[in-house]
Copies of this chain bind each other. A is one copy, B any other.
């Protein structure tokens, strides 16, 4: 186990002060050029040294014929060269004294026996020089906090709290947009590729120590060091949640994974058990992986599994109740005291059963403060799930009818909604109970977007909200179990048989 984050070989890979870049050129269609352009787009402030045999300059940077010519020893080499010359580049990095690398190039173990031999050679060169590297056959890393994105797709949105270690590079580089739209962002993301040198276990260990990472997401096609994986996970989950998507369990997932990274998948049940014993929450799909991350990275520990639904629409309330029931959550009745407090401010057609269905808003402001505050004070409940329609529509329409000049409406509506968001968010801070939203509208509308930006999870379907809430409860249950076992057992006691 690492004791400080700087002890991890991954630290210089995601926090480099200087990078030697192999494979970028002025031909924009080359993968290396594309990756360098993403680095530039995010505004990386360290030194960039393109290595190129013939070009004097690459995309405006002075280019060097050989890494040996560089004026300093870079912290990191990124290699995006044709397969045949990767070993040579690694050799030269070693001679220069470079100790960390990312090998993006493919054509190694995933490409058959010849590639496997080539990978052995690459590993040997790295070992000779004490180089630690990610890949080959990966798509790089991202550390948005350092404005570092050597991946093929430009980063989007602010840095976030999700630490990703992925056996798919696409699930790193193609997820910036997805995460931003869903209120998330990477703290640090690592594409492990063929794991010839650094594997997913070391990545998880790094993310466990990374202060920007509140929750770890793993995309797994197959794990080689099962025992180490569990030991590291067990040391992390008592203080930081881990969510894993394992796709090698199904026959079709296994075959697809095998041809992808050459990872050997194991039976689904084995992985299930491994995750559970390690306190890891398992997701079934990529959407679920990040849905769970959103809940686990933003919400406080719930006191139990009792949820109040706040709605002003019967169908969406009933659908949420159905989803919560299916996810094992309970809908307690409101206490007489809560009902009394509510009755003073809600329409007489409103239902004070749970879901609390206002039917319509007597005073729309109350939806975002007074009503949820009363529901958060309910001693019989542990969490609050709130349905959002679209305040924009109602606010704009009401202002129009009230005679607000049309050119003033957008700004006034914006201000009003911002006030509601502010009021609502203060409840989350004051009451310490998990508050979750759901809507069928776009998450990019002002209300939902602002809530997401303020760390209130909003889901696009109550089913997704319910499953995320169940994952939150499950994490805290497993966490306590793991913490209790860790307290009892000496560190080196095996928790399960070696693979």
Contact = CB atoms under 8 A, between A and B. Distances in A.
Nearest to A166: B315
Contact of A31 (B34, B360, B442): B360
A357 B259 contact: yes
Contact of A398 (B29, B107, B153, B355): B29
Given A107-B349, A313-B168, A402-B28, A442 B259 contact: no
Identify which of A31, A253, A353 gathers the most chain B CB atoms within 10 Å of its CB.
A253
A88 interface: no
A257 interface: yes
Interface in A457-482: 460-463
A496 interface: no
A378 to B, nearest CB: 17
A355 to B, nearest CB: 5
A153 B316 CA distance: 15
A411 to B, nearest CB: 20
A321 interface: yes
Contact of A314 (B37, B168, B181, B463): B168
A170 to B, nearest CB: 4
Contact of A321 (B256, B261, B460): B256
A319 interface: yes
Contacts of A250: 321-322, 325-326
Given A29-B398, A174-B440, A360-B31, A463 B349 contact: no
A253 B321 CA distance: 5
Nearest to A191: B315
A177 B442 contact: yes
A252 B333 CA distance: 11
A323 interface: yes
A315 B289 CA distance: 14
A106 interface: yes
A359 to B, nearest CB: 7
A221 interface: yes
B317 A260 contact: yes
Contacts of A256: 309, 314, 317-318, 320-322, 331, 353, 355
A252 B181 CA distance: 31
Nearest to A444: B442
A324 B463 contact: no
Interface stretch (A68-76, A122-130, A199-207, A279-287): A279-287
Given A170-B313, A255-B353, A284-B463, 6 more contacts: A168-B319, A253-B322, A256-B331, A260-B317, A285-B463, A287-B460
Complex A-B, nearest 8 residue pairs according to Cβ-Cβ distance, in ascending order? A168-B315, A253-B322, A28-B401, A252-B325, A170-B313, A260-B314, A256-B321, A256-B318
